[in-house]
Structures are given as C-alpha cells and as structure tokens.
Amino acid sequence: MGDLKGITEKLDYLQSLGIELIWICPVYCSPFIDQGYDVSDYYHIDPVFGCNEDMYELIHESKKRGIYIVMDLVVNHCSDQHIWFQNAMKDPYGKYGKYFYIREEVNGNAPCNWRSYFGENAWSKLPGHDNLYYLHLFAKQQPDINWENPEVREELYKMIQWWFDKGISGFRIDAAAFIKKTMPFEILPADREDGFCTYEIPPTCNDGLHEYLQEMKKRTFEANDAFTVGEVVSFEEEDLEKYISDDGCMSSIFDFSLYMIGKQGEDFDGFYSHKQPTANEFRDALLRSSRLSFNVGFLSNFIENHDLPRAASHFIPEKDISEISKKMLAGLNLMQYGLPFLYQGQEIGMENLSFSSADEIVDIGSHMEYTLALEKGLCEEEALKKIQEYSRDNTRSPMQWDKTENAGFTKAAPWMRINPNYMKINVAEQEAREDSLLNFYKKLILLRKNPEYKETLVYGKETSFLEKEDNFVGFFRKDKNKKILVMANFQRKGKFFQLPEGEKKVLINNYSEPVNLETNVIQMRGYQLLILDIK
C-alpha cells in the first residue's frame, strides 16, 4: 500500500536526495473512496498504512535526519462514514446535522445547481430523509463540513493541535479555499448542457474565507510555529497577500499556474479538460508567478502531484521525452523563485501510466469522467483516451525502486498497477549511474543549499532574460552579491543565443559535453538547460 513503515525505511534515501520536508497525503482512517481524502477518523492512522505508533516513529526518525513531517489537512469535507455524518443522518435537525450543509429540497429539487468537482450533482439526498439534501463539492461520500458552525471549527482546531502535540511540523491544507461557501445557496447560470454550474470560488463571493483561515492560523498554526501550504487553485492577484504575506493565513500556497494553462476559456469542459502547454506558455506562467509573489512571499512550485499527470508526459511532446528534457524541467522547477516541491518518482523521471481498459482505472475522478464521457456519446476507446492523459492514476502508480518483482515496492500484490517501464526507470539503476536524472536532482538541490548560492537562489529576485525568444525560458536570480542565469532551450532543435556580458562559470549543464563560453554567443542544444554564475 505504501505504508508509514515504508517511508521510514526510505528516509536515508530521501535524506540523500537532499529534501528537508515530507508532505504525506492523507493517512487517516478512511474508506478510500477518494484515496484517503475522505477521512472517517482524524485521530487514527488507517490500518493499511500502519498505526499511530508508526507515525510517531516516522516523526522521530525524520527529525533525526533533519526532515520535517507535514500531514494533509482535509477539513473541507470528511467521509460519510465519519461518526459526525453518521449522527447527522440519524438526527439531521440535531447537533450533528449542523456539522454539515443539510437543506430541505426546493420545489422537489436540490437547493441549487452546483456541480461537484468530479462532475455530478453537488447535492445528494440525505439517506433516510427524502426531503433533505446535503452538500458535497467532491464525491457524494465526502460531505462538506459546515464551517459556519463555530462548534465544528473548535473540533477541528482541537484535532489539529492534537497532531502538533505528536510532533508534526505542519499541514498541507486540502481544498483550502472551499471551506467558506457563498451563502445563501443560489442557482447559478448553467455552464454546460447538464444544467449545472461548477462551483468556483469567485473571490468576490467568498467573503469571509480569510476570516476562517486567519482564525485557524491564530488558534493552531501560529503557536506551533507550523509550516502550512494551501491547495489554492485560483485566486485574485490582490488576494495573494492575504494568503502568503507575513500576516497571511499560511506559509505558502501551491502555484497552480502551469496547470491552469488550458483550464480556462471556451474549450474548458471540466476537471479533465486540458491541453499540453507550449514552451512559451510555460515560460509566461513561471515569470508571472515570480513577479506576482516576489514582494509578497513564497509560492510553492511543483510540476507534479497526486492529482496531475507526470511532468515529462504533460509538458514535453512525446517524441522528445528523455532524461535531457526531464533534467531541463527539473532545473526550472528548482531554480524558480519559491519553495520547490517534488512528487515521489519525479526525481527518477517516472512517466504516465497507460490503461488498456476501463477496468484498470482506480481513481474515482477518472471513473466518473469516463462514465460522463460515455454518456456524452464517446465510444469506450475515445472515452479511455480522453481520461488517459489527465487521469490521477498517472502519478499514483507505485514508486519504482529497482528491477525486481513489482519494482521492489512490495512482495505482495500492490494496491495499484506498477508502470511496466520500471525495468528501465528505477532508483537502483539511477543511483548507480553518475549522469542519471536522480543524480541531477541531487546536484540541483545541493546547489540550492550551497552556502555560496543559497541566499541568491532562495531570496534573490527573478528577472526575465530574452523573454521574447520563442521556446526559451530564461531568468536571472539576483541579489547584491550574485547573479545567476538560468536558460532552457525548450524545444527539440538547437539554437544560438546571445549571452549577457560578464565572466561566466557553468554551475549546471544537462549535457555532458562542456559548453564554450569564450564568445558571447552560445549554441544551445535541444532541451538544454544551463545555469551560469555571472560576474
């Protein structure tokens, strides 16, 4: 399953990679309708991952290695198996009924026409009560918790403190911007033929969100000097300060802008709607984020997570996927202003997992999208193709440790299929090979920590370089002592570029052949990444 003891066992590996913090997706008790994002008991580790003692051991062993543990905080909703919801079903008008958004039907219908993130009606009938509905912005087994109720907020703060007392260092806050709903519930203009409207968080409508987030910070995070990173997929620029400035409600929020490419506009028809970003779009998104956040705080940068495709498969045209192009992405991920996060297996360049039939789908979101695609009239093959590229299973396949059975992940049957490419892509092979992607990640992380460059790479301002060049990502990281130039030729073909004046030293190059810096014109090869120190 990928349990806690398994993480503890691999701490030396993680330490050798150079990471300093581990965010663990939810490991609380759960019926696993949404892979643990449906928590049925916040105080206990689900037996499939081990027990609470295993968590304490992991915290302890991590600390010894200078690694912090950050848990997932899933408090927008819980599981329908949680005792609160069980009680709410028994007595919807009693104490626990007020822990959720339970409403009477309106003219025989749900209170409003919001669509859940997995594509269906966000309101379901409360079992046993034909005239009542409850709200769930995700699956129907994930009822939304009523943050308007101070009593429920107190319960959540108590639980958060309980985990701090056990030694965790912070939280990744799931669906952070959803905890405050636009009230009263209103019918919104339908955005698709199904008559529903995806509940976005129009910043003008979520007045009150930051009061809740601030309250949670004051009551829990602040006193524990916690690190917090929010899952906030979109926000108004002027609101960034409310999230990540010194007075903001969190230490950081994830920067989703690379993934927002293709998520807006007329073609957008739901979670699975996507397109492969172009190199220019990638560049524009990176530069925009650093401009936006520089004087405010740190965004958290990522190119992969458990909800999105593998980065190489998503950002690089299929025929160009190689260790070279993966190294280029690694460099951009780690040199960009902000806090870099890596997703397990990214450091060895794991790729999307392909399906040969719908029976192989594990993720609830992919299942629902598949069904919706069939309902829309797509044939099975087309429907499978539609979800393939963006399915959350792509990144969830087990870590590929070595060439042995099940990629060394388990001797039992793994909870999910192993990507068949594990014979080629695995940790053991890359540890043994000097020029591997894994060793490249280590070099980049070491560079970020190198006393000579660390200040500049963490705090230095980011300014663009050759911003008008097509298929090129270039930026300086600069402070009063140092100037570092990051250049990526984001395309298959080689190209000449004019370098800035000054004495240069190559810090990182994803090709083994040395570059000639004698003249100020440089020929960069396909997907070449260079990091230069410029005097």
Catalytic residues, by residue number, are 174, 231
User: 138 Cβ partners below 8 Å, 6+ apart?
Assistant: 34, 37, 77, 116, 117, 118, 175
For ligand GLC, the closer of residues 116 and 528 by Cβ is 116
Least CB distance to ligand GLC at residue 330 (A): 22
Q: Does 70 bind ligand GLC (CB under 6 A)?
A: no
Name which position in 7, 74, 168, 250 contacts ligand GLC (CB under 6 A): 74
User: 79 Cβ partners below 8 Å, 6+ apart?
Assistant: 30, 31, 33, 38, 39, 40, 85, 141, 142
- Report 424-483 residues binding ligand GLC (CB under 6 A): none
Cis amide prior to 500 (ω within 30 degrees): no
Q: Does 37 bind ligand GLC (CB under 6 A)?
A: yes
- Report 295-314 residues binding ligand GLC (CB under 6 A): 306-307
For ligand GLC, the closer of residues 74 and 445 by Cβ is 74
For ligand GLC, the closer of residues 113 and 116 by Cβ is 116
At 436, list the tokens: 């591997």
β partners of residue 476: 463, 485
Angle at CA 368, nearest 5°, toward 362 and 370? Answer: 85
Distance of CA 502 to the CA centre of its chain: 38
Q: How many residues bind ligand GLC (CB under 6 A)?
A: 9
- Report 502-521 residues binding ligand GLC (CB under 6 A): none
- Report 179-198 residues binding ligand GLC (CB under 6 A): none
Least CB distance to ligand GLC at residue 23 (A): 11
Least CB distance to ligand GLC at residue 37 (A): 3
At 200, list the tokens: 């976005």
For ligand GLC, the closer of residues 231 and 351 by Cβ is 231
Least CB distance to ligand GLC at residue 36 (A): 9
Please say whether the beta carbons of 202 and 189 come within 8 A. no
Name which position in 4, 27, 34, 416 contacts ligand GLC (CB under 6 A): 34
- SS3 for 16-75 is HHCCCEEEECCCEECCCCCCCCCCCEEEEECCCCCCHHHHHHHHHHHHHCCCEEEEEECC
Strands 28-29 and 123-125: unpaired
Name which position in 14, 75, 175, 303 contacts ligand GLC (CB under 6 A): 175
Q: Which residue has the tokens 């006193």?
A: 223
For ligand GLC, the closer of residues 2 and 408 by Cβ is 2
Please say whether the beta carbons of 300 and 257 come within 8 A. no
Q: Does 393 bind ligand GLC (CB under 6 A)?
A: no
> CA 514 to CA 499: how far, in whole Å?
16
Strands 252-254 and 298-301: parallel
Q: Does 73 bind ligand GLC (CB under 6 A)?
A: no
Q: Which residue is nearest to ligand GLC (CB)?
A: 37
Q: Does 416 bind ligand GLC (CB under 6 A)?
A: no
Q: Does 27 bind ligand GLC (CB under 6 A)?
A: no
DSSP E strands: which ranges in 31-189? Answer: 41-45, 68-73, 102-104, 114-115, 123-125, 132-135, 170-173
Least CB distance to ligand GLC at residue 136 (A): 10
For ligand GLC, the closer of residues 110 and 233 by Cβ is 233
- Report 306-365 residues binding ligand GLC (CB under 6 A): 306-307
Angle at CA 282, nearest 5°, toward 116 and 445? Answer: 100
Least CB distance to ligand GLC at residue 309 (A): 14
Least CB distance to ligand GLC at residue 32 (A): 11
> CA 102 to CA 125: how far, in whole Å?
9
Least CB distance to ligand GLC at residue 453 (A): 33
Q: Build a one-symbol-per-residue string for 216-235: x at contacts with ligand GLC by CB under 6 A, - elsewhere.
A: ---------------x----
SS3 content of the chain, % helix, strand, coil (to 5): 35, 15, 50
Strands 483-489 and 472-478: antiparallel
Q: Build a one-symbol-per-residue string for 248-287: x at contacts with ligand GLC by CB under 6 A, - elsewhere.
A: ----------------------------------------
Least CB distance to ligand GLC at residue 250 (A): 15
What are the backbone angles phi and psi of residue 434, rounded to the nearest 5°? Answer: -55, -45
Q: Does 138 bind ligand GLC (CB under 6 A)?
A: yes
For ligand GLC, the closer of residues 175 and 532 by Cβ is 175
Residues of this chain that interact with ligand GLC (CB under 6 A) are: 34, 37, 74, 138, 174-175, 231, 306-307
